[in-house]
Amino acid sequence: MFLLFIFFIKSSFLIEGKPQVPCLFIFGDSLFDNGNNNDIATVAKVDFSPYGIDYPGSPTGRFCNGRIIPDFIAEYLGFEEYTPPFASATDSDYLTGVNYASGGGGILNYTNYFVGHQYDLEMQIEHHAYTVSQVERILGSATQAEELLNKCIYASNIGNNDILNYVLNPILSPARRLYTPDQLAEVLVQAYSQQLEKLYSYGARKIAVFGTAPLGCIPQVLHRYPTDGKICVEWINNDAELFNIRLISLIDQLNTNLPDAQFIFINYNAISYADIIESVVSGFVVGNIPCCVTASTNGLCFRDSIPCPDRTKFFFWDNYHPTEILNMAAAKRLYNASSPLYTYPMDLQQLALK
């Protein structure tokens, strides 16, 4: 497996010619953020080294040593450039796609309120509404804008922070005082449903909805809770799965009730969990500790610290976020899924070509 990942790193994914879709829009949290938090008052930002050590140029605000999943998605879809953050978008960007993701963001508007400012999903969708207005202005009519936006890919990866705050911050999390894990999953999916329908009302039709990451396997969780002899904290993965299972049902519901809607579910938990388990068992890759030196308070890399020399042997970059190698492997599986366990009811490639 390790040699296979090295092959991925040394290979170019860029597809020559016209992109498979005219534009790509990204929503989510720190797993997808590529710089939207850089200039806002929050501790949830990483515009400093060693972040971006394997990315061309200076640190961009990606919570990673290199590329993140949206970058690889853009490559697979044939885009010559990565989707820019909304914070720096221009007229030409509005037509080809924008990234609205924000580190610390959640489905609920009070998620991570204690780390400072961030853009929750509701605000990200409002940012997209502005983008839609700009597309209408540039193209000259709402009809032309709708025709374009109907063909684009939308990817949303959100909900991780809502669940992690519930687990890791019982005192600061309002949700912890209000809901059981099952009730929280229901509240999250109900709110998410309304947000996705709003996105649909702005012209989105091809929408990839990501389930949570394997939250019980991240280093920050492993530092806090015992694993009972297992690789991950299984009860936390089980709590996250309550949300993921409901998302699958939501996908069916939205595809049935919304004309021309083509929602797909990306089982990010299954994709990543399989790689993490295999890596730890095989011994080829370090699957449960971070590559960089992290702060116990926020789990991020210390500013200007020196990370591990070979980032291809680590799955986790800091206490929360994967390295480029795991992002690369995940993107490959979700784009061209080898199993219906990874994507439902189709993979990203099929969605793009429909």
318 is catalytic: yes
Count of positions (residues) in the chain: 354
| Active-site position among 71, 275, 318, 347 | 318
The Cα–Cα gap between 77 and 334 comes to 12
The Cα–Cα gap between 58 and 47 comes to 9
128 is catalytic: no
How far apart, in Å, are the Cα atoms of 302 and each of 49, 173, 291? 8, 25, 12
**How is the beta sheet containing 262-266 ordered, strand by strand?**
24-28, 153-157, 206-210, 262-266, 343-344
Quick one: 154 exposed, middle or buried, by C-beta within 10 A (0-12, 13-18, 19+)?
buried
Beta carbons of 31 and 160 less than 8 angstroms apart: yes
Beta carbons of 99 and 87 less than 8 angstroms apart: no
Q: β-strands 24-28, 153-157: how paired?
A: parallel
The Cα–Cα gap between 160 and 216 comes to 11
71 is catalytic: no
Beta carbons of 238 and 223 less than 8 angstroms apart: no
Give the side-chain half-sphere CA count within 13 A for 317.
26
Structure tokens at 204: 């989105």
| Active-site position among 29, 239, 321, 347 | 321
User: Cα dihedral angle (271, 310, 290, 83), rounded to 10 degrees?
Assistant: -60
| Active-site position among 29, 30, 162, 275 | 30
Beta carbons of 26 and 101 less than 8 angstroms apart: yes
Structure tokens at 17: 């010619």
Q: Which residues are annotated as catalytic?
A: 30, 318, 321
